[in-house]
Structure 1
Amino acid sequence: MKRRATLLAGLILFLSSFPLLADSIKLGFNYPQSGRYKDLGLQQRLGAFLAVEEINKAGGILGNKVELIIRNTAGSPERGVSNTEELIRQENVDMVFGGASSAVAIASGKAAKKLDRLYFGTTTSANATTGSEGHDHMFREYPNAWMTANALGHYLRENYDGLRYFYVTADYTWGQSSEASIRKFTNTTDEQAHPHALTPFPAAHMRDFSKALRSAEESEADVLMLVLYGDDLVRALKVAYDMDLKDKVQIVIPNISLGIAQTVGATIMEGVVSTTPWEWMIPYQLDFPRGQAFVESFTEHYGVRPTSTAATSYGIVYQYKEAVERAGTTNTKALIEALEGHSYSLLKDRQQWRAFDHQNLQTVYVVRSKPRDQVVDDELRSDFFEVVGSLEGEEAAQTLTEWQAERAAANKPPHL
């Protein structure tokens, strides 16, 4: 009898270490349904829902149905934090992901850590997300500003070396770190020779962009670097076009997505240079069959092409699934161990969750926007980008020494 009681107690203890043995596995999705990044948020949502649908049709995660529970951040770090706390405390989600603003992702990730849940950053590019503000519960799928700037710098040094730059930069975490990184990799750190204008964030108006772009025009720069994103980038590109700046400078932007390009329009976008980790035409240009299958499924489901932000949220859901299956549990500590150093290939070539900072290492593509007639030749008028350069993840990312220097500058320990 005593032996049976001991076995029963052991079995109960064993089962308690496997919190996935419930009716479902709940994923908390913290995204901008409204606000300046709402278009990016919609694509994230569509990508996440498609992944969940596919996984459930295939039997779920270790036999458990997956539920997606959503909250709207409206682009606010404060709402991101309150959403994260609510998702974990009230909805009992097993992990949280999302964020189209680095400030939202950073704040939400810290809230998740306090409550011992993983947080996967989606479209968050500030170096700080997995750098100075990084921690063991944060994993970032999207390339950071350093990686995109490094890839962009390789291309720009080859094609626009020695020219004068002017920066128009959103005055917040991502804008500041992106400008600093691009200056480093384009040899334009001299702010007298390569000046900049800051625009308010998140409350910039058309007059702010007009003022900044007039300064750019007066500088007689050769390259106009628009360190902006979302609605801010859309507005600035339209103002630049109305001012005929496209005829006077090469316009470059650190990050682009199909959604932004579609909002701006093919005529204005033509010739603009940028970077992206993924867009729907890249699997066809570079022959990634699994990426092509995702494009076709997404397009059939929703009647639109997927963007890089859709691919990011789709990939995160699948990576969480696979980590749970490798670990055999949804226990946070076990999942961190299952993710660290893990390499995989899903919608593109090889990717890896780097162990020391939890940054996803992946190829960054430099793209140029195609002429309008090529864009509209696609049945959904969405064939915007041609790959003109690339840099693999290991080469694009900070080294351990560089990452530790960033941490030291912020008075953070040399480890997560």
Structure 2
Amino acid sequence: MKIDRRQFVSGAAIGAAALATPSLLRAQGAPIKIGEINSYTSQPAFLKPYRQGWELAQEQINAAGGVLGRKIETLFRDDAGKPEDSVRLAGELINAEKVDLLSGGFLSNVGLAIADYALQNKRLYVASEPLSDAIVWAKGNRYTFRLRPSTYMQAAMLVEEAAKLPAKKWAIVAPNYEYGQSAAKWFKELLKKARPDVEFVAEQFPALGRIDAGATVQAIEAAKPDAIFNVTFAADLANFVRQGNTRGLFEGRAVASMLTGEPEYLDPLGAEAPVGWIVTGYPQADIQTPDHVKFREAYRAKYNDYPRLGSVVGFDTMNAIAAGIAKAGTTENEKLVDALKGLKFTSAFGPVEFRASDHQATLGAYVGKTAVKNGKGVMVDWRYADGAKYLPSDAEVKALRPAG
């Protein structure tokens, strides 16, 4: 659902003018403040483009008159990938800076920490990137919403393709924290459901950012799997790919890999990028839908660069928040929370909705295969997987999520 901000602001101003006091009018003219917490120094490959996408959307919104006649202002804070720092920063933003809501989060353990703060303090938190299913299911709460397709959703997308392979013996490599554990759990469960004949013969869970890639590759090779499910990303992924290439791990083996098709992680590999892996990602140069073309051209015009997946996530999170405020007609916390339930808005990938049942957005992901063209890793044979098709029903969610 597209929102004409000028029409909304005009109508709201006419309706409120007769009743508003001078002090209220001054308050209405003050900027809407968003507290944005993220792991900028620990995950720069994703979060520099993320912030650029966010700032592009904010600039567009403010240039169109803001929301409710008020400009949006974002206070960015760096949690350095530490859950304890994210909670401290959330408290400072709410209590000292008087922000209207919280947003952000990259690592799943950080996102869960902010979500718990949101619950304890009854303040809205729009989680942009953390992929843990617990954020909207096992530890879901009234005050937390999440934009990106979760580990369950992306595992389901990959399983759809992996189940078609002749491979029966699988190995798993994933970072040893919430995201990696969740992704591995769902891939195993969903693949076994689709293919009862498969077995998992090896699992490697290296520490995030500290993979011993040589030892990991050696352990997987020793198990002689037919295929591998990979969940590593960033520097861990690069090390795993390079050691795997050197030691021949991927020769004659299928690989299904979460996030690997995102430019943030594919670009640094250059000509060393894997070939033929089944991945979720973002083939930005080839997507020609009207919403994406408009976004990509605006991003290029502002930054003289192409967008990454982080750019999309930042852009969409900012626009989702603005749409929610417009729908609520206020920044009052409880009304804003109610407005986000079932909220429909337009993302760079097309129409998206925050489901009322679990506060998970229906944003999808692109699924395809990796290839190397002109010395650079790319996605080929891709399709857009609509997130709404990879989520449990509202009835199933009741068993996964606490009330509230």
- TM-score, with normalisation over the residues of structure 2? 0.87
* SS in structure 2 at match of 1:341: coil
Q: Is structure 2 residue 400 aligned with structure 1 residue 399?
A: no
Segments of structure 1 that go 5 or more residues without pairing to the other structure are: 1-9, 377-382, 408-412
1:74 to partner: Cα distance: 0.9
Q: Which residue of 1 aligns with 2:352?
A: 351
Q: Give me the identity figure in percent.
A: 23
C-alpha displacement of 1:190: 8.5
1:55-92 CA-partner distances (Å, limit 9, x unpaired): 11111122212111111111111111111111111111
Query: Which residue of the other structure, out of 195, 198, 201, is the alignment partner of 2:204?
Result: 198
Q: Distance in 2 between matches of 1:387 and 1:253?
A: 15
Q: Counterparts of 1:7-406 in structure 2 under 5 Å? A: 21-35=28-42, 37-158=43-164, 160-187=165-192, 193-202=199-208, 204-205=210-211, 207=212, 209-256=213-260, 257-276=262-281, 278-281=282-285, 283-284=287-288, 288-373=289-374, 376=376, 384-406=378-400
**Cα displacement (A) at 1:392:** 2.7
Q: 1:19 to 1:93 in 2, by over 3 A?
A: farther
Deviation, 1:30, is 0.8
How has the CA–CA distance of structure 1 residues 14 and 182 changed in structure 2, closer, same or farther, with 3 Å as cutoff? farther
Contact between 1:29 and 1:97, CA under 8 Å: does it hold in 2? yes
1:144-197 deviation digits (Å, cap 9, x = unpaired): 111111111111112x14432110121111111111111122228989931333
The answer as to whether partners of 2:140 and 2:358 remain within 8 angstroms in 1 is yes
Distance 2:253 2:334 in 1: 50
Q: What's the C-alpha RMSD, in Å, of the aligned pairs?
A: 2.6
SS of corresponding position for 2:73: strand
> 1:177-231: per-residue Cα shift (whole Å, max 9, x none)?
11111112222898993133333433524x2x22221111122212121122233
Deviations 1:77-132 (A, max 9, x none): 11111111111111111112111101111101222333333111122111111111
User: Mean Cα displacement is larger for which, 261-270 or 71-80?
Assistant: 261-270
Compared CA separation, residues 50 and 403, structure 1 to 2 (3 A): same
> Aligned residue pairs: how many?
385
Q: CA deviation at 1:19?
A: 10
| Local SS of the residue matching 2:173 | strand
Question: In structure 2, how many angstroms separate the alpha carbons of the residues matched to 1:73 and 1:330?
Answer: 25
8 Å contact from structure 2 (residues 283, 366) kept in 1 = no
Contact 2:167 2:227 in 1 (8 A): no
**CA 1:266 to 1:64, structure 2 compared with 1: closer, same or farther past 3 Å?**
farther
Contact preservation (8 Å) 2:273, 2:372: no
Counterpart residue type for residue 177 of structure 2: Y
Give 5+ residue unaligned stretches, structure 2.
1-17
* Normalised TM-score (structure 1): 0.85
Deviation at 1:389, TM superposition (A): 4.1
Residue 310 of structure 1 deviates from its aligned partner by 1.4
